[in-house]
Structure 1
């Protein structure tokens, strides 16, 4: 492999070379930076280029290794950070023009943990305004495009992260997820992710002026989007390192004792009245077959009602947003985001007042139902979305658009309300009229067992392959095709 192709390496393969000394951190970082400069102008995934400081850090890592300093588990791995999380000395704009000069006084826990493990931040990635869309566009930095083509949204809110990592800009991409913001971009771009469970990854922004609402605290999590499941096993132990600034972090190690006998997987194609597209149906069948071949016991059975749980949870979250954030959105948001929130409030009528307190209490009821079910079925394989991923700006097309984008995504935000981990992995490359498009499925897991969800994702990936490979072939072919005006 030439220096110019180093960016193709997974984080797992890359660290085997950087930690042994067969590859310098500087060369690893330089290759990803070169790739960023090559493809990012067309994608607009990275909106702050940190090449200079990244190369300086890489050289310091090489010098430290030469002096015998032990290397971290992510030594020299190029990563990106989403612009809604604090990185010291950089703006935490959250895609909002009014916040473009909010400079972080210190690193957020996830940034500190990544850098303590030896990772090198090469850029900061785009997000929609207030990080509250399943698509990525904002007046401050513009639209992020999907590397598969402009007919597919890049997803959101970690759309810049998903597009970047799949295009080869860094081996790992930071993102976060309050209702699907890691999994939507993974599904849009054909990446792999695991939404960690409640309390697994320490979180806090030193720049914030007030604490977030209770539901935002309990539903929002930090994580990574990757090109392979193995890279999640490599990197997640570093992410979950304790940080005292998050007083509710759960200091549990990554993984636990293997379960006796075949692991039982609850398998469902239930879409709660939404039409199940034939390509999603095929993806689910492929995922089931992959797990069966890997030794899992897959049983078609209905889990507890994800629709009631998910819709109740998102309506409660909208109640909190209405109470705590609506004034900020009205004051600092664009006409587009204000209009979208008005439709959100129609799709998910906000629960407020006494009813909101009652629903926050009922959250324990939903969580208990799932915990008891998952004693028998530690994993749940389900659709992520019932249809292939939607096009850009679908959520600006009134009630019908928001209904298609978020209304049908109950398996996504139900897991946030429950606080359960959920992986999202491609299980098919569909040949659709506009071109090839990845189809992802979701695997939910028992509380604190993110590792089991990632294991199952790895089994599916071993059958289907990594989606970055056909994507890179497509990107290369597209780059050779003359652009028409």
Structure 2
């Protein structure tokens, strides 16, 4: 492999070389930057180019290593950061024109933890306005495109992150997830991610003027989008390092105790009346067979009521959004995002007042039911979406569009309301009339056992392969 091709390496393979000194951090970062400059003009995934400071940092890492200083687990790995998280000296715009000059005075915990691990930030990635769409477009930076083609949305709200990492712009991409914003882009772009459980990754933005609402605090989590499950095992232990600025962080190791006997997996194809597309069903069958062959005990059984939990959770979140965010959206949002929120409130009638307080209490009921179920079934294999990923701007097409984008995504936001970890991994490459498209499935896990979900994702990936190879060949052929 030539220096120019280092961008093709997963983070796990790259760190084997950078930590040993076989390649320099500067060469690893330069290759990723060159790739960014080659493909990002077409994708618009990275909206702030940090090449100069990235190369300065990479050279500093090389000098430190040469002096015999210890190297971090992510030494020289090029990464991207989503523009809704603070990075010192850069704007935390959240895709909103009115916030374009909000310059962070310090790094958020996830940025600090990545730096401590030796990662190098090469750019900041796009998000929709207020990071509250499952698609990525905004008046400040424009639309992000999916590297698989413009027939598929790049997902959201971490759409820039998903498109970047799958196009080879950095080996790791930071994102976050309040209802699916790590998993939607993973599914759209054929990437791998784990939505961590509540309290696993420290979170706080020094630039914020007020504390977030209780549901935003308990449903939103920080994470990474990667090209391989192994890269999550490599990188997440660094991301979960404690930070005193998050008083509710739970400082427990990434790896939990091994479970006795074969791990039981609850397998369900239930889509609650939404049509299950044949390609999604094939992806589920492939994932089931991969886990069975890997030694898991897969049983077709329904988990506790996902539909009620998910819909109740998102309606409760909409109640908090209506109370705490609607005035900001009306004042600073574009007509597009204001119209989308109007339809959100129709699809998910906000729970407010006394009912809101009661639903916050009932959240413990749902979580307890799942906790008891997961004593027998530590993992749950399910669809992520019942249909292949939607087209760009589908959520601007009224009630029908929002229903297809978010209304049927109950497996996604149910996990946020429950605070449970959930991995999303591609299990099939579909050849649809609109073009090739990855199909991802979801694996939910017991509380604090993100490692089990990632292990299962790795077993599925071992059967299916990684999705970036056909993508890169296709992009190269199109040049």
3-state secondary structure, aligned to 1:368: helix
Q: Report the CA distance between 1:465 and its aligned residue.
A: 0.2
- Could you say which residue in structure 1 is the equivalent of 2:72? 72
Q: Report the CA distance between 1:474 and its aligned residue.
A: 1.0
Q: Report the CA distance between 1:248 and its aligned residue.
A: 0.1
- Could you say which residue in structure 2 is the equivalent of 1:37? 37
Write out per-residue CA displacement over residues 368-415 of structure 1, whole angstroms, 9 at most, x where no aligned residue. 000000000000000000000000000000000000000000000000
3-state secondary structure, aligned to 1:101: coil
- Could you say which residue in structure 1 is the equivalent of 2:106? 106
- How many residues were matched structurally? 479
Distance 1:425 1:184 in 2: 11
Q: For the aligned residues, what is the CA RMSD? A: 0.3
Distance 2:330 2:22 in 1: 54
Write out per-residue CA displacement over residues 450-470 of structure 1, whole angstroms, 9 at most, x where no aligned residue. 000000000000000000001
Structure 1 segments (4+ residues) deviating >6 Å: none
Distance 2:435 2:128 in 1: 26
Q: Report the CA distance between 1:429 and its aligned residue.
A: 0.1
- Could you say which residue in structure 2 is the equivalent of 1:224? 224
Distance 1:153 1:476 in 2: 21
Q: Report the CA distance between 1:478 and its aligned residue.
A: 1.7
- Could you say which residue in structure 2 is the equivalent of 1:411? 411
Q: Report the CA distance between 1:292 and its aligned residue.
A: 0.3
Distance 2:161 2:225 in 1: 7
- Could you say which residue in structure 2 is the equivalent of 1:429? 429
Distance 1:160 1:256 in 2: 32
3-state secondary structure, aligned to 1:143: coil
- Could you say which residue in structure 1 is the equivalent of 2:51? 51
- Could you say which residue in structure 2 is the equivalent of 1:371? 371
Distance 2:130 2:80 in 1: 19
Distance 1:333 1:37 in 2: 30
- Could you say which residue in structure 2 is the equivalent of 1:360? 360
- Could you say which residue in structure 2 is the equivalent of 1:399? 399
Alignment of 1:239-388 (within 5 A): 239-388=239-388
Distance 1:49 1:144 in 2: 15
Q: Report the CA distance between 1:61 and its aligned residue.
A: 0.1
- Could you say which residue in structure 2 is the equivalent of 1:62? 62
Write out per-residue CA displacement over residues 21-74 of structure 1, whole angstroms, 9 at most, x where no aligned residue. 000000000000000000000000000000000000000000000000000000
Write out per-residue CA displacement over residues 332-370 of structure 1, whole angstroms, 9 at most, x where no aligned residue. 000000000000000000000000000000000000000
Q: Report the CA distance between 1:434 and its aligned residue.
A: 1.4
Distance 2:472 2:61 in 1: 29
Distance 2:135 2:160 in 1: 10
Write out per-residue CA displacement over residues 215-255 of structure 1, whole angstroms, 9 at most, x where no aligned residue. 00000000000000000000000000000000000000001
Distance 1:263 1:475 in 2: 39
- Could you say which residue in structure 1 is the equivalent of 2:447? 447
Distance 1:321 1:279 in 2: 35
Distance 1:157 1:424 in 2: 15
Gaps in structure 2 of 5+ consecutive residues: none
- Could you say which residue in structure 2 is the equivalent of 1:483? none
Distance 1:375 1:261 in 2: 13
Distance 1:409 1:330 in 2: 26
Write out per-residue CA displacement over residues 57-114 of structure 1, whole angstroms, 9 at most, x where no aligned residue. 0000000000000000000000000000000000000000000000000000000000
Write out per-residue CA displacement over residues 426-460 of structure 1, whole angstroms, 9 at most, x where no aligned residue. 00000100111000000000000000000000000
3-state secondary structure, aligned to 1:244: coil
3-state secondary structure, aligned to 1:298: strand
